[in-house]
Chain A
Amino acid sequence: MFWYVLTFFVAVVIIFVIPRLIPGNPISSIISQMATGGVQSESLEKIYESFIHEFGLDKPLFFQFTDYMKNIFRGNLGVSFSLFPKTVNEILGEALPWTLALQLPAILVGWIAGNLLGAVAAYRKGKFDRVLFPASIFISAMPYYVLAIILLYVFAVYFGWFPTGGGYSITTLPSFSLSFMKDLLSHYFLPFLSIVLVTIGGQAIGMREMSIYELNTDYVTYCRMLGLSDRKISGYVFRNAMLPQITGLAISIGTMVGGALITEIVFGYPGIGTWLFNGIRQQDYPLIQGTTLIIIIAVLLANFIIDLVYGFVDPRIRIAQMEESR
């Protein structure tokens, strides 16, 4: 638990320190614009004033930091520049459900399917492996957004089977009707598919490797000599090879989420990734900072859950935990 708090703290400090260390950073350029009277319109001046107040930039660095921490713990992410006076909380609150609904199922489905395929490839060998393995390497070599762009072009533009972007059609009103659900799903399908495919590729490679390794261990030879059925042995192998894959998911979930966020941009999906992109393009620093924080919290939460699941799945750890708590 301590470890998660520490990681969060480090991340929070990095987000605070780096922009203030590098000269010409977004914050100091805003201050200098204020100071030299480079700000023309009255409304812009208001925005900047609220920004400087919000970030406490008129105070010494130490108080800036305490203010920043206070705001984070209050869950106050500040006011957006580009959509003033909308707060970052409002923007991200609307975007978060989209991202969660897209990424959570997509990464899980890809992870499960990838592991199954990888295990089967290791077990069956032969043709299945010779086709699946290079295909997996090829797909995982393809960045998320590249696959996304190609899927977008082929299925949405060339064949016209799916809409070319967005979360739902502008012409339909969000409601719980059947037609809106259909519209929602048709927008959902391509981003979902592109995340699933890339995840499958990477996971299948890892699982194949682990399974081959397990198949060569002594206990498998012993089971074979005992005359256990293939089905039973492959069950044991699968369960053992699965463990490192669970840890692997915890470590790589950050990278996965990063890639999936860019997939959102390609499809103009109304999630966190698209807002991050808008924030960067319009130099909306509070929005960028808020998005970054949300992503880090989500990734840490995912890690924590995977940790719990791991303890539940691995009987050795489960027993150790039970003994500790006694």
Chain B
Amino acid sequence: MNSMVKVLLTSKKFVIGFCLFMTLVLVSIIVPLVNPADPLEMVGLMYEKPSSEYWLGTDNFGRDVLIELVHGMKTSLRIGFIAGIIATFIGTIIGLVAGYLGRNIDNVLNTITNIFLVIPPILILIIISISLESRSLGLMGLILGITSWPWTARAVRAQACSLRAREHVNLAKLNGSNPLEIIFKEILPYIFSYVFMSFILQTAGGILNEAAMSMLGLGPTNVVSLGTMLSWALLFEAPRVGAWWAFLPPAIGITLITFSLYVINTAMDEVFNPKLRS
């Protein structure tokens, strides 16, 4: 584990991505602690320009955009993490079972995975979300997680398949280990880096999907997220009246978070697959 971290730290890409991501996380955690202002409080008029009082101006409800931005990042990150954990968990289990057991179970699980890969997740999300009157932060993370696992399942299954015939796995079989033991002791540790990378991508995906759902008016209720900020800005015509401060901060916020996660992922990919190093 330690040697893995050491190798990762030699990658410039990884360090840049990780520092950027941690900065965003820390800002979104620390600022609300220091400044307990309510992001939903209306402090000014609609679309006030950035000033010394409100550094990023006010939004369509006269709320302080800077405070909203920080809280929005926190919400988006939390939803992303919840979605990422759930999706990675489901995907890894399904991928491991399908890849290791093979045969009929693999056929069934693989068909299910492929079906849910092709049906656009956003449609299932819409169908679930319109049926729910209110969506809390946790619920939002949950439904995002249970609709995005197929990507992980596919990647994990491919890895598990290739490991199935390795010697140490056969040895464990001869020792009389049951399939469950083999999956968790002999296969999972070898693909841990893949699982972790998929967790990073799933977290980024969760944040993007939260924003997409919010743009459709189906985001989390009663909280500020980067997605809800964008959807309010669009609903109240911020780009068309020139109120760039209402939509640019959340837009940049989302892009920076997902960008840093993608950079971390690419760096890890290059470290673990030496063939990709150019």
Contacts and interface: CB of A to CB of B under 8 A. Distances in A.
Interface of A: 3, 6-7, 10-11, 14-15, 18-19, 21-22, 24-26, 122, 125, 129, 134, 137-138, 140-143, 145-146, 149-150, 152-153, 156-158, 164-165, 205, 209, 212-213, 216, 250-251, 254-255, 257-259, 261-262, 265-266, 276-277, 280-281, 283, 285, 288, 292, 295-296, 299-300, 303
Contacts of B128: 18, 22
A22 B106 CA distance: 31
Contacts of B212: 143, 145, 258-259, 262
A158 B211 CA distance: 25
A156 B211 CA distance: 23
B217 interface: yes
B216 A254 contact: no
Contacts of A300: 118
Given A10-B115, A153-B247, A299 B131 contact: no
A137 B261 CA distance: 10
Nearest to A209: B276
Contacts of A150: 248, 251
Contacts of B132: 22, 24
A213 B216 CA distance: 39
Given A3-B111, A125-B278, A150-B251, A157 B242 contact: yes
A138 B121 contact: no
A149 B230 contact: yes
A278 B128 CA distance: 17
B71 to A, nearest CB: 19
Given A129-B278, A265-B215, A265-B216, 20 more contacts: A6-B111, A7-B118, A11-B123, A18-B127, A24-B133, A137-B263, A138-B259, A142-B251, A145-B215, A146-B254, A153-B242, A209-B269, A212-B275, A254-B121, A255-B122, A258-B120, A258-B212, A266-B215, A285-B130, A299-B118
Interface in B246-263: 247-248, 251, 254-255, 258-259, 261-263
Contacts of A258: 120-123, 212
A156 B118 CA distance: 35
Interface in B187-215: 204, 208, 211-212, 215
A69 B162 CA distance: 42
B119 A11 contact: yes
A280 B126 contact: yes
Q: Which among B111, B122, B123, B233 has the highest number of chain A CB atoms within 10 Å? A: B123
Query: Main SS of chain A's interface residues?
Result: helix
A255 B239 CA distance: 25
A300 B244 CA distance: 39
B119 to A, nearest CB: 5
Contacts of A281: 217
Nearest to A142: B255
Contacts of B133: 24
A145 B211 contact: yes
A97 to B, nearest CB: 20
Contacts of A209: 269, 276
B118 A280 contact: no
A257 B120 contact: yes
Given A137-B259, A145-B215, A149-B247, A164 B240 contact: yes
Nearest to B133: A24
A138 B114 CA distance: 28
Nearest to A138: B259
Nearest to A165: B240
B210 to A, nearest CB: 10
A141 B216 contact: no
A292 B127 contact: yes
A183 B98 CA distance: 54
Q: Which among A122, A129, A153 has the highest number of chain B CB atoms within 10 Å? A: A153
A290 B122 CA distance: 15
A143 B262 CA distance: 13
